[in-house]
Amino acid sequence: MAFEVDYIDDVFSQGWSVLVVGQARAATEDDAVRRLEAGARTLPWAGGQRALWLAIAPTRITGRRVVNARGKPCDALGLPTR
């Protein structure tokens, strides 16, 4: 299975992307499901109930930073950092 998470900040022209690849399995243990539900910080965009949680045993994790056109990250004011 592959799972990707991205973040883009259009105001500061920066962000990041992380990709996790590995073997997936259904997380069905009651304690695990309760912990996952309690820690979930978003809801499915499509709405409705989702009864399946997956756990990934990663075999590869990659990522990259997205920076502004000058190739430099920006500070809180949007100015390139040194």
Q: Residues 54, 20: contact at Cβ < 8 Å? A: no
Q: Please count the residues of the chain.
A: 82
> What tens digit of pLDDT does each residue of 9-53 get?
888 788 899 999 999 999 999 999 999 989 988 877 887 777 889
Q: What is the dihedral of CA 73, 77, 80, 82, to 10 degrees?
A: -90
Residue indicated by tokens 């992307």? 17
Chain-centre distance for alpha carbon 18: 6
What are φ and ψ of residue 16, in 5° steps? -160, 165
This prediction's pTM? 0.68
